[in-house]
Chains A and B, each alone.
Chain A
């Protein structure tokens, strides 16, 4: 294990972080910056693209190139960057609202195109920035500021979606399982093609408070208990599975990425 701190990628003059105490975003940011350091990423050849949300503010704290885009559209902007400059490391940071609710269509198609981006979706099960309304990943029956009597809708499995859409790498981690998270991020960054790391993370201010997990400690306990390996999950029977989720690597393949495919098409076009 290296001793990368990632601190050299942290914009010190933007501190303190805007996030609430107990928010998981800082832990994800730290894991990401350490992964940058371990992989030797340069500021000039890396672009961090964010959408809008609490996690989407992360670009304010990172020294690399950055593009803070509109809500839900970060992957579309990132696609344009990567399509014209395959040499850049393009990392896309989105919340669950940003990445798979308003931005669900772009998410599906970025994965399907297998464009060489790394998406880090922080899933705090609600819209943190706008006051804790429900998102596509809010569990059924949970309470949010727009589901006072419980959520009538079912939650979306972000990793399953990325997997069927064609992502080359899919993993789910939590901010409780820090070391595993950093490894997933590193593997995702290293992977050519579309890679996704979903990070289940606490929003004590809204989701926690609304669901009897007011303290950050309670929320971390929730992650510790409910995040299980695939083997553990499969051993459970139907109703036992309720509330549990699988953590770990969920897909790892090497289908050609968009830029590689486009190079082939170019060669064909020029041959004609």
Chain B
């Protein structure tokens, strides 16, 4: 069957992307603006041999997807602000126990129940630092319906490959936007499955990295019998509070992502070859930034755009390399404090002129908002 272009919504594309990537378990708790992901999964999962579960809360949703993933099934959940806050403890579990899974956070306006359910990009630091304990995750941020699909597939791939939870940090705008989209044919996009152990079962250690830095993951119910805990553990998965072991384990969680940093960090650039001004954007605001750059060029100001497709780990090298060519960097984002602008400052230091464009009233950042900062 040849797929034809359909007008579909970002949230639907996320659900379809997950199924394309091989996800067969969704557990969630409804919350606007993410609920369409759950609704789509409730219809689609039973038809593709998967399971949709509506849990009693987001704490349970996060726990359930970790359990299902350890039973060998690619799993995900979708939520927004308040629900994402509830997920943090068990999300940290997934980091520590190295359980692949995908968490979609369709960002909405806060603080707290805030301006429900208007768009925002104010969870960027929570995505990175929301859990107790020093740890690292991967986060991707889509700017279109097509990216909602593609980056969901990518999120599963990175999660499976590196045994780490991946957060799709979407926002209400992309999630509810409808665009023409042709789903890729099977095989068109790469789909990665987690590495399975090959050693004899009695030799299997679920947290012992192989030469590539990643430990293979068996599934409950296979011939491999294994123990998983988020308490400090050694390679065999058994509690181990020895300081040397803790040093090894916490480092390992970071190092496996540092090692593959270039594969994880994805960016896109637009009109950067001759630019004088660099706009750094992510998520839906990328669209306004691109439109603003086009408008600016009409007035003779050469603006280019760097889209942070991967938000975490932060694309520091890509940013530094491009920013070296300009005097002014503009960071438009839908939050008060400039969560990404702060990172940009951290990377570029005090020299360049870094302008922030912040909106935090549930209103979208427009090209005009950005142009005002440029012209």
Does A168 sit within 8 A of B, measured CB to CB?
A: no
Chain A residues positioned under 8 Å from B67 (CB to CB): 49, 67, 76-82
Of the candidates A47, A79, A83, A108, the one whose C-beta lies within 8 Å of that of B220 is A47
Q: Is A65 a contact partner of B72 (Cβ separation < 8 A)?
A: no
Chain A's nearest CB lies how many Å from the CB of B314? 28
Is A106 part of the contact surface with B, judged by Cβ < 8 Å? Answer: yes
Tell me whether B227 and A83 are in contact (CB under 8 A). no
B 59-93 contacts with A by CB, 8 A: 59-73, 75, 89-90, 93
Which of B48-56, B107-115, B160-168, B352-360 lies on the face that meets chain A?
A: B48-56
Interface size class of A (residues with CB under 8 A): 35 or more
**How far is it, in angstroms, between the C-alpha of A67 and the C-alpha of B43 when the chains are bound?**
30
Give CA–CA (A49, B97) in the complex, Å: 14
Q: Are B63 and A83 in contact (CB under 8 A)?
A: no
Q: Is the CB of A70 within 8 A of B93?
A: yes
Report A269 CB to chain B, min CB distance, Å.
Answer: 4
A146 within 8 A of partner (CB): no
Report yes or no: A81 in contact with B55, Cβ–Cβ below 8 A: no
Contact A80 B66 (CB under 8 A): yes
Q: List residues of chain B with CB within 8 A of the CB of A218.
A: none
Q: Is A145 an interface residue (CB 8 A)?
A: no
Contact with B along A140-174 (1 / 0, CB 8 A): 00000000000000000000000000000000000
Kindly list chain B residues whose C-beta atoms are within 8 Å of the C-beta of A63: 225
Smallest beta-carbon distance B64→chain A, Å: 3
Once bound together, how far apart are the Cα atoms of A64 and B228, in whole Å? 11
Contact of B46 with A80 in the complex, beta carbons under 8 Å? no
CB of B238 closer than 8 Å to a CB of A = yes
Closest to B55 in A: A76
Chain A residues in 8 Å Cβ range of B25: 80, 83-84
Say yes or no: is B20 at the interface (Cβ < 8 Å to chain A): no
Whether A211 is near chain B, meaning CB under 8 Å from some CB there, is: no
B56 to chain A: which residues have CB within 8 Å? 105-106, 108-109
Are B221 and A79 in touch, CB under 8 angstroms? no
Does B198 reach chain A (CB closer than 8 Å)? Answer: no
Check B27–A68 contact: CB distance below 8 A: no
Q: Is A192 an interface residue (CB 8 A)?
A: no
B223 lies within 8 A of A44 (CB)? yes
Q: A85-B72, A88-B71, A270-B47 are in contact. Are A73 and B63 (CB under 8 A)?
A: yes
8 Å CB contact of A83 from B64, B72, B224, B228: B64
Collect the chain B residues with CB atoms within 8 Å of residue A14's CB. 238
The yes or no answer to A69 lying at the interface (CB within 8 A) is yes
Cβ of A235 within 8 Å of any chain B Cβ, yes or no, is: no
Considering the chains assembled together, what is the distance between the CA atoms of A76 and B87 in angstroms?
Answer: 12
Complex CA distance for A75 and B64, rounded to whole angstroms: 8
- In the assembled complex, how far is the CB of residue A86 from the closest CB belonging to chain B, in whole angstroms? 10
Cα of A106 to Cα of B57 in the assembled complex, Å: 9
| B203 touches A (CB below 8 Å) | no
Interface membership of A66, Cβ < 8 A: yes
Cα distance, A266 to B72, chains bound together (Å)? 20
Which residues from A are CB-within-8-Å of B224? 44
Q: Which residue of B46, B61, B65 contacts A269 across the interface (Cβ within 8 Å)?
A: B46
Provide a sorted-by-A list of 23 A–B residue pairs whose CB atoms are within 8 angstroms: A47-B71, A64-B225, A65-B220, A65-B221, A65-B225, A67-B67, A69-B63, A70-B63, A70-B230, A73-B59, A76-B59, A76-B61, A77-B64, A77-B66, A79-B55, A79-B63, A80-B27, A82-B67, A84-B51, A85-B71, A88-B220, A109-B60, A266-B46
* Ranked 8 nearest A-B pairs via Cβ: A80-B67, A76-B63, A80-B64, A80-B68, A76-B60, A68-B229, A269-B46, A77-B67
